[in-house]
Amino acid sequence: MALRILITGASSGIGRAMAVEFAKEKNKIAITGRREDKLRETAEQIEKEGGEALVLAGDTSEPQTVARHYGEIYEKWGGLDWAILNAGISLRNPGTKFSAEIYKKTFETNVLGAAYWLEAIIPDMVKAKNGVIAGISSLAGFVGLPQSGAYSSSKSALLILLESLRVDLAASNVSVITICPGFIKSEMTDKNDPRDMFFVLDAQTGARKIIQAIKKKKRLFYFPWPLALPMACILPNLPRVAYDFIARRAIKRRLKD
């Protein structure tokens, strides 16, 4: 039986790759993003693989847009089985040039964008006593990465939001899954210095790992393990003075290059 799946941020990168993978199983896939032309390209790939696509162009940080999009999904399919909240942005913001506006934009998309969708979809999933919600956080959510305070803190907020929600919805038979990838090849990571990115995965590989974790209903899944081990397990448990020393050395090394 085909699943009714939502994927936010499906214009490109890992969102598009997940949509194409799901299409191979003949699922119905609602895709969102701000760039309609790119969403249409994703939809073409979905249909080529045998899936059914519903294009929902708009900004996930606008609550009225999210409400309208869910209304379209409900009218067409009667609800959702799975929701993958993948939309996100990353804006570098060195502390010496601190910008509250960057934090505002980042949280509006990475946290509130997910929250608006959760508000829309949870009532019907609870009523049906069935559903899967997967949020794409990041390994960056475990530590405050230098010059990436807005991104790290937004992903940390999403991680904690999903953790709380998982407990709250357990009795309703709604599964909540937190996915924390490392670096995935995408338009967002293309602007990074390659020397700062370790164990980069292509979008298709990343998508397959995420889908496998969702199907297994893993509560928390982070990957790849060579990066996840230090980021999620070691660095957060170091004495703060040790972490500060390592992070400051990394910044100084980059400034010398």
* pTM score, whole prediction: 0.91
Q: Which one is catalytic: 70, 103, 116, 151?
A: 151
- What confidence tens digit (pLDDT) does each residue in 108-147 have? 999 999 999 999 999 999 999 999 999 999 999 999 988 8
Q: Residue 111, by phi and psi: left (phi above 0), alpha (psi -120 to 50) or beta?
A: alpha
Check whether the bond before 146 is cis (ω within 30° of 0). no
The reported pLDDT for the residue numbered 246 is 78
In 34-44, which positions are buried (b, 16+ CB within 10 angstroms) versus exposed (e)?
beeebbeebbe
- What confidence tens digit (pLDDT) does each residue in 31-85 have? 999 999 999 999 999 999 999 999 999 999 999 999 999 999 999 999 999 999 9
CA within 13 Å, CB half, 78: 3
CA distance 84 to 5: 8
The pLDDT-based confidence of 205 (bands split at 50, 70, 90) is very high
In the predicted model, what is the mean pLDDT of residues 185-203? 66
3-class SS of residue 182: coil
In the predicted model, what is the mean pLDDT of residues 227-240? 89
Answer yes or no: is pLDDT of 190 > 70. Answer: no
Integer CA distances (angstroms), 169 to 111, 125, 162, in order: 19, 10, 10
Which distant-in-sequence residues (6+ apart) come within 8 Å of 123 by Cβ? none
Domains along the sequence of the chain with CATH? 4-256 (3.40.50.720)
Nearest one of 193, 95, 188 to 149, comparing CA atoms? 95
Tokens 């934090």 found at: 103
243 is catalytic: no
How many other C-beta atoms lie within 10 A of the C-beta of residue 53?
22
Nearest one of 156, 23, 108 to 164, comparing CA atoms? 156
The reported pLDDT for the residue numbered 195 is 56
Is 211 or 94 the better-scoring residue by pLDDT?
Answer: 211
- Of 11-25, 122-136, 196-210, minimum mean pLDDT range: 196-210
Written as one letter, the residue type at 246 is I
CA distance 233 to 216: 22
How many other C-beta atoms lie within 10 A of the C-beta of residue 164?
10
Question: Most distant CA pair in the chain: distance in Å?
Answer: 57
How many other C-beta atoms lie within 10 A of the C-beta of residue 208?
14
